[in-house]
Amino acid sequence: GTISIREIYSSFKENFQEVLINEVYWRDFFTHIIYHFPNVLDGAFKNKYDKIKWDNDKKLFQKWCEGKTGFPIVDAGMRELNTTGYMHNRVRMIVASFLVKDLHINWQWGEKYFAQNLIDYDPAVNNGNWQWAASTGCDAQPYFRIFNPWSQQEKFDRDCEYIKKWVPELKDLTSYEIHNLYKNHNLKNYPKPIVEHKEESQKAKEMFKRA
């Protein structure tokens, strides 16, 4: 059967699920965007960003897909997605930002990959979330706000429980060592970071400015 949005809202309200209610707002917001602006399924809501010349490096994209980027939180998220078809929303934002603003790959590549692998795939929500992360959508984060994967993982996975679950190559390291791999990497069974975050994020800002 079908559960109406009003039933969901009422149930969440009765059980004080404010966080879930906010997610329902986002779902309906993205659904309305696609209804009124169906062109977002083929390009950026802010169409000037369709002019961005992405690097679209296929080898880097493959490493992102496989969870072999050398960025633990990114790799953990992608491996969870590939194994279970699911990924926490915070990690989705991190891996999306990384693909677009660290690897400079068209957000539509990531949108398609998520569509092919998510068990909770919804065209409107998936498109809206990717355009939010890529700073190309309606009410998206500004292009100059770029997630730092290292600080994100330290903030949201301080003890590295999530990372160690999905990236077992790092299970014998301390959380401090994992959070500082970009400074001191001597592992043979786990790749070095494939890009330098600070350098690539600056390049991303310049790409968006030129659009």
What average pLDDT score do residues 102-130 get?
98
| 150 catalytically annotated | no
**Catalytic residue, candidates 64, 80, 126, 130:** 130
**Catalytic residue, candidates 64, 107, 150, 166:** 107
Structural domains present in the chain: 5-36 (no CATH), 45-211 (1.10.579.10)
In angstroms, rounded to a whole number, what is the distance separating the alpha carbons of residues 207 and 190? 30
Query: Angle at Cα 85 formed by Cα 44 and Cα 135, nearest 5°?
Result: 20
| 82 catalytically annotated | no
| Residue 30 Ramachandran class (φ > 0 left, ψ -120 to 50 alpha, else beta) | alpha
For residue 68, give the nearest of 173, 161, 202, 195 by alpha carbon.
195
Q: Are 97 and 66 in contact (CB under 8 A)?
A: no
pLDDT in tens, 135-182: 999 987 889 999 999 999 999 999 999 999 999 999 999 999 999 999
**Catalytic residue, candidates 22, 89, 196, 199:** 89
The confidence score (pLDDT) of residue 18 equals: 81
In angstroms, rounded to a whole number, what is the distance separating the alpha carbons of residues 102 and 202? 9
The confidence score (pLDDT) of residue 11 equals: 84
| 80 catalytically annotated | no
Structure tokens, 123 = 């065209």
| 206 catalytically annotated | no
Residues near 143 by Cβ (< 8 Å), separated by ≥ 6?
A: 135, 204, 205, 208
Q: pTM of the full predicted structure?
A: 0.92
pLDDT in tens, 65-82: 999 999 999 999 999 999
In angstroms, rounded to a whole number, what is the distance separating the alpha carbons of residues 190 and 18? 40
The confidence score (pLDDT) of residue 75 equals: 99
